[in-house]
Structure 1
Amino acid sequence: MSLLLLGRWLPAERDHWLHLLQSVMPDEQWLLAPPVNPAEAAEVEVAVVANPEPGSLAGLPKLRLIQSLWAGVDRLLQDLTLPPEVPLARMVDPAMNESMAHTALWAVLSLHRGFFELQAQQGRAEWIAPQQPRASEWRVLVLGLGELGGRVAQSLAAQGYAVSGWSRRPALLTGVHTLHGEAGLAEGLAQADTVVNLLPLTEQTRDFFDASRFEAMKPGASLVNLARGAHVLEVELLAALDGGRLSRAVLDVFRQEPLPVDHPFWRHPRITVLPHCAAQTDPRSAAAVVRANVLALRAGQPLQHLVQRHQGY
């Protein structure tokens, strides 16, 4: 049996992944393109993928596992040819979780201490020291308490921030005040100085941040979006910033990427743009995650981080 490695990437990126995967699974046979004949297709047992072209995983009769190299699987689930009976696992990379926690801490700390405004003051040669509230006085709401959101919420709480975490269903998280449901969301948004979005992208969360959601936020609050660009209605975010409802937005993800050069986000004085780099999958640790799931599959043991397709994550 063989493993299929497919993705939308440059050859050098694919070769880097292949080298690391072969280093932890030296006895595996790898295919680097969709099978060209039925005999080759019948040999594929596992597909290791990074948002492959739609239709790439159809016609593989012995396929037993689709292992994503990315944390988000929304693009994969849009492929209507994806075999519905084959388990799909998302990537939960411990190194990526740490990177996301670092980025979230940088953003929250910069908002809490006014560092973005200080940077703007430097350009105007202004010497104005800002107020310095305590971390315990700065309320942070983390939306989404999965692997990434939970790690971020606990990391921020460890730095002394007053952290709440929201999920659709009840959750328990050490050191974090957890909220759930619509009532919990309304409570969290009304109180938070900074909202950090780490929700999965589903039909229920698409366009999550619209005018009504911004209106529900605490006046002068800030938004940090580290999840998906489709969570935010961009025109309504601009209106909330320009109208003074929000004070600032830190954005790592966008509806169109790369962000077009003429997009108003680039030049808005209260928007910080990151080029989708808040946390990237680390191929070194991710290769070990792939290996563990392949070994579990062969041994008949439970697979890790399986996607509930009806939920979208």
Structure 2
Amino acid sequence: MRISFCCTDTASEPWLQGLRAALPTAKVLLWEPGAPLADYAVVWAPPQQFFDEQPQLKAVFNIGAGVDALLKLRLPPNALVVRLDDAGMSVQMAEYVCHAVIRHFRELDAYEADTRQGNWSFRKPRSRADFPVGIMGMGVLGERVARSLVGFEFPVMGWSRTPKSVDGVQCFAGEQGFADFLAASRVLVCLLPLTPETRDIMNHANLSRLQSGAYIINVARGAHLVDDDLLALLDSGHIAGAALDVFRTEPLSAGHPFWQHPKIVVTPHTSARTLRSESITQITSKITAIQRGEPVAGVVEPSRGY
């Protein structure tokens, strides 16, 4: 069995060592043009040439949570595309989102600004009941984020393409439930996969349906958000602020207005990073299962985009 590793901007040797240790009978090779044919591939942002030279692959394992960029390539016709189910990402995402929600709710940004100026200030405590959090996307990451926010006693709602049921979470589904979901949300968290249907979903019309003084948290993909629409709604006061970890172009260009906007927190796509050891364990376990003819979780349906 051969495994080809083709991950752009990734230190390869630790991954190669880990994969070889987990599957000692496999030949694990760093891909180069003209490399031998492989049975499986571990990839991140691979070039089209990789797949053109590897048409026989049984499965392709993506080391990041999002597969939208991968699905734009011409993939081997019979290869499964498999995403990471979690691999340590969900707890990181829950940390990031809970921090962003609590920082906004407790007005810690305002306290920080005051203390920098030497001001000892006071703000009236706010009620969690007035800050219902709506989560778009109730997959593995979205459900973990929702459960974590429930633990902080915020009203939590989830919206997904198909109906879901999560304890303590009011769930909405489909087009019919979307408008009601937005109207019930004061904090909006985007954890959707990027598909043609979800691109630009955070536009002026949809963001305007949120409760007045809404707060936006985007940890999914930059193309979910229409930048100019967010800026216009911030200026109008309908949206109070935003925490943005993903952008249409990354790194975010030096002149982009998000950098200097007083109501926007920018972080460099760091809400949930791939954890190598957990990912290797998951990938190699799935390879072993496929070899045995067993089903595996995380198989992408290209027609849906996730």
Q: Offset at 1:147? A: 0.8
Separation in structure 2 between the aligned mates of residue 99 and residue 291 of structure 1, nearest angstrom: 22
| Count of aligned pairs | 306
Letter in 2 for 1:25: L
Separation in structure 2 between the aligned mates of residue 130 and residue 185 of structure 1, nearest angstrom: 34
Q: Offset at 1:123? A: 3.4
Partner residue in 1 for 2:157: 164
Q: Offset at 1:74? A: 0.3
Q: Offset at 1:200? A: 0.5
Q: Offset at 1:27? A: 2.5
Query: In the alignment, is residue 60 of structure 1 matched against residue 54 of structure 2?
Result: yes
Worse overlay, 28-37 or 104-113: 28-37
> What's the TM-score once normalised by structure 1's chain length?
0.94
Partner residue in 2 for 1:108: 101
Separation in structure 1 between the aligned mates of residue 78 and residue 289 of structure 2, nearest angstrom: 18
Q: Could you list the runs of 5+ residues in structure 2 that have no partner in the other structure? A: none
In percent, how many aligned pairs have the same letter? Answer: 35
Partner residue in 2 for 1:292: 285
Correspondence list, 1:1-313, <5 A:
1-10=1-10, 13-34=11-32, 36=34, 40-41=36-37, 44-79=38-73, 81-313=74-306
Separation in structure 1 between the aligned mates of residue 56 and residue 72 of structure 2, nearest angstrom: 22
Separation in structure 1 between the aligned mates of residue 30 and residue 87 of structure 2, nearest angstrom: 26
Q: Offset at 1:263? A: 1.2
Q: Offset at 1:33? A: 1.5
- SS of aligned partner of 1:218: coil
Separation in structure 1 between the aligned mates of residue 70 and residue 180 of structure 2, nearest angstrom: 34
Separation in structure 2 between the aligned mates of residue 93 and residue 211 of structure 1, nearest angstrom: 32
Q: Do 2:19 and 2:28's aligned partners in 1 also have CA atoms closer than 8 Å?
A: no
Q: Offset at 1:218? A: 0.9
Q: Do 1:7 and 1:53's aligned partners in 2 also have CA atoms closer than 8 Å?
A: no
- SS of aligned partner of 2:300: coil
Letter in 1 for 2:16: L
Q: Could you list the runs of 5+ residues in structure 1 that have no partner in the other structure? A: none
Q: Offset at 1:51? A: 1.7
- SS of aligned partner of 2:259: helix
Aligned-residue Cα RMSD (Å) equals 1.5
Q: Do 1:193 and 1:218's aligned partners in 2 also have CA atoms closer than 8 Å?
A: yes
> What's the TM-score once normalised by structure 2's chain length?
0.96
Letter in 1 for 2:3: L
Q: Offset at 1:136? A: 4.2
Q: Offset at 1:55? A: 3.0
Q: Offset at 1:35? A: 5.3
Q: Offset at 1:94? A: 3.7
Q: Do 1:4 and 1:34's aligned partners in 2 also have CA atoms closer than 8 Å?
A: no
- SS of aligned partner of 2:24: coil
